[in-house]
């Protein structure tokens, strides 16, 4: 389970990207369905748009006797859903945030390469752009989650435990408003559901009975590690705003926010973002940011230390309570004006400055 500090760190990591991101001027999205039909009919209609997301990334493994961690390639699996005819797929940010390679598998076995074009780890939503869309695959529509009521029936399609195109049915159990915190997600509108969710469902769609996407699976709350009827999905309106209307930039960076006693341990003046992992070829990698090398346990958390610690962005300290909003706005302004952002980074005990231009 992700915890508050990790996800807040991802929020800040998300805004440090130094690459431009392009969306089609007028992408073609699915038309609103005219009739709902039975559950089996709706499932047959939307199932082809649900995809399996397979990732590969470098992780640091601890090997006895080795002076530092050894990089190993690890495969991951998640779910996603096609929402436009030009190849946009919505998924969970934690599925693809630090992936070196992303492949999307459609029903029938067609595999298409994809790249991350938007990601907001705070809300745990991300957007992929496919190289192509297989023939005869129709996208599904992002619905209006504001119209959803507690008690409405809903169903989830995804890849639980690697078993693709699995349907689970339940209800919207509760609506969790922004600024409520559940498993570390802050300022994120969520639906709680009793539809079964397991590992591999992450990033998959929750549908209403008309076949419209009303949420994206993010996580479960579980004692046993399996489904216990406490699943959470990010609402479709939240995903639409963060990925389409005000698209967040993907950084390819995963970090951990150091505050309080941990900041003191790392000899930081107030707070900093400990860089954990950096995706190969990502904006963070092009900035020259370095990930961690040594794995240590801090309470229930596993941290990678030895990497960079980001102190400030364009002179805005990460310790400030409104840092996310200020830096995000600065980034958007810089991208629009082809400006440059500056990072203040602690590396090997010394303060370094990194800079990168941002195109429109």
Look up the CATH number of the domain holding residue 206: 2.40.10.120
What are the catalytic residues? 94, 124, 202
Q: How far is residue 181's CA from residue 237's CA, in Å, rounded to a whole number?
A: 18
User: In this structure, what DSSP letter does residue 17 have?
Assistant: -
C-alpha dist (Å) from residue 169 to 194, 197, 225, 323: 8, 10, 20, 40
Confidence (pTM): 0.82
Shared domain check, 111 and 230: yes
Shared domain check, 273 and 228: no
pLDDT tens-digit profile, the chain (360 residues) = 343 344 334 434 443 433 333 333 345 666 555 445 799 999 999 999 999 999 998 776 655 555 555 667 789 999 999 999 999 999 999 999 999 999 999 999 999 999 999 998 888 999 999 999 999 999 999 999 999 999 999 999 999 988 999 999 999 999 987 544 333 444 678 999 999 998 889 999 999 999 999 999 997 665 455 555 678 999 999 999 999 998 888 889 998 889 888 888 888 888 999 999 999 888 888 888 999 988 888 877 788 899 999 999 989 999 888 887 788 788 777 777 777 888 999 998 899 999 887 654
Instruction: Report the domain count for the chain.
Output: 2
**Structural domain harbouring 57:** 22-29+36-245
Shared domain check, 192 and 64: yes
Q: Is 265 a member of any domain?
A: yes
Q: How far is residue 71's CA from residue 126's CA, in Å, rounded to a whole number?
A: 25
End-of-domain residue from the set 245, 266, 284: 245
> Number of C-alpha atoms within 13 angstroms, CB side, residue 239?
35
Q: What are the residues whose beta carbons fall under 8 Å from the beta carbon of 308, sequence distance 6 or more?
A: 275, 289, 290, 291, 345, 346, 347
SS3 12: helix
| Cβ-count burial 298-317 (b if 16+ within 10 Å, e if not) | eeeeebbbbbbbbbbbbeee
C-alpha 351, offset from chain centre: 30
Shared domain check, 141 and 42: yes
């Amino acid at each position: 389970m992700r915890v508050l500090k990790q996800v807040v760190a991802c929020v800040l990591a998300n805004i440090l990207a130094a690459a431009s991101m392009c969306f089609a001027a007028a992408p073609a999205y699915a038309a609103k369905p005219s009739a709902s039909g039975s559950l089996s009919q709706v499932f047959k209609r939307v199932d082809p748009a649900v995809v399996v997301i397979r990732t590969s990334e470098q992780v640091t493994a601890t090997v006895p006797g080795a002076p530092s961690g050894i990089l190993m390639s690890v495969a991951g699996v998640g779910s996603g859903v096609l929402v436009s005819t030009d190849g946009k797929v919505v998924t969970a940010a934690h599925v693809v945030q630090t992936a070196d390679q992303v492949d999307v598998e459609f029903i029938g076995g067609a595999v298409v390469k994809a790249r991350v074009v938007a990601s907001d780890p705070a809300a745990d939503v991300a957007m992929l752009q496919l190289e192509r869309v297989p023939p005869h695959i129709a996208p599904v529509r992002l619905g209006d989650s504001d119209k959803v009521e507690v008690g409405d029936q809903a169903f989830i399609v995804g890849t639980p435990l690697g078993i693709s195109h699995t349907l689970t049915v339940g209800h919207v159990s509760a609506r969790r408003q922004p600024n409520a915190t559940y498993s570390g997600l802050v300022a994120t509108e969520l639906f709680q559901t009793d539809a079964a969710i397991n590992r591999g469902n992450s990033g998959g769609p929750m549908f209403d009975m008309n076949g419209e996407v009303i949420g994206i699976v993010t996580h479960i709350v579980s004692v046993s590690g399996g489904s216990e009827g406490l699943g959470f999905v990010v609402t479709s309106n939240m995903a639409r705003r963060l990925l389409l209307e005000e698209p967040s930039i993907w950084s390819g960076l995963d970090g951990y926010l150091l505050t309080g006693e941990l900041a003191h341990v790392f000899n930081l003046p107030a707070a900093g973002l400990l860089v954990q992992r950096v995706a190969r070829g990502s904006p963070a990698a092009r900035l020259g940011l370095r990930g961690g090398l040594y794995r240590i346990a801090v309470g229930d958390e596993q941290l990678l230390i030895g990497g960079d610690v980001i102190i400030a962005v364009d002179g805005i300290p990460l310790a400030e309570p409104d840092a996310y909003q200020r830096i995000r706005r600065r980034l958007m302004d810089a991208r629009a004006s082809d400006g440059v952002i500056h990072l203040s980074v602690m590396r090997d005990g010394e303060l370094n400055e990194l800079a990168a231009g941002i195109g429109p």
